[in-house]
Structure 1
Amino acid sequence: MAIRYYCRHCGTSVGTLEDEELLVSPRLGFDQLSDEEQQQIIHYGSDGHVHVRITCEHCEQALEENPDLHELDRWIH
């Protein structure tokens, strides 16, 4: 089992954590998220991996330059 991070906007793979001890670690910060935030950000795949939706650096820059993009969940298809 691994934790896989990918961009919520463009779908780019950002990184993977393979260490199973981290899956229950408070260092990941998942415990700081509300239940609603956890449902929006963290998904448990049929492949047994945890998939975490974040914003990559490129999309973060696009959001800073184009604030109206915040209204869209995913603007790159």
Structure 2
Amino acid sequence: MQFIYVCRHCRSYLGRVDHGRVDETRLGFTSLTAEEQADIITYNSDEDVAYVKTICDYCQEAIEAHPELVLLENPLQ
């Protein structure tokens, strides 16, 4: 399985990790609650891929400069 990281705001591709190199425990996913996992990780068993939502540097800086953006559903689209 591959873990593909994408920005939750702008949906930019940020990178990937192949399951053979690391497992969910080492990635820290097992320390998340079930709700957090459901919010952050989307599994696609047909493609054997897990999409992990995170935030890119650009979006992080924009939200830090303008915190009101987090109130919008898609702040940086």
Using the size of structure 2 for normalisation, the TM-score is: 0.86
Query: Unpaired segments of 5 or more residues in structure 2?
Result: none
Equivalenced residue count is 76
Query: Unpaired segments of 5 or more residues in structure 1?
Result: none
Aligned position for 2:62 = 62
Q: Does 1:41 align with 2:50?
A: no
Aligned position for 2:28 = 29
1: CA distance, partners of 2:19 / 2:39 = 23
1:34, CA displacement in angstroms? 1.0
Aligned position for 1:3 = 3
Counterpart amino acid of residue 14 in structure 1? L
What is the alpha-carbon root mean square deviation over aligned residues? 1.5
Select between 61-70 and 14-23 the one with higher mean Cα deviation.
14-23
2: CA distance, partners of 1:55 / 1:14 = 9
1: CA distance, partners of 2:49 / 2:23 = 10
Aligned position for 2:76 = 76
Using the size of structure 1 for normalisation, the TM-score is: 0.86
2: CA distance, partners of 1:71 / 1:14 = 23
Question: Which structure: greater strand fraction?
Answer: 2
Q: Which runs of 4+ in 1 moved over 3 A?
A: none
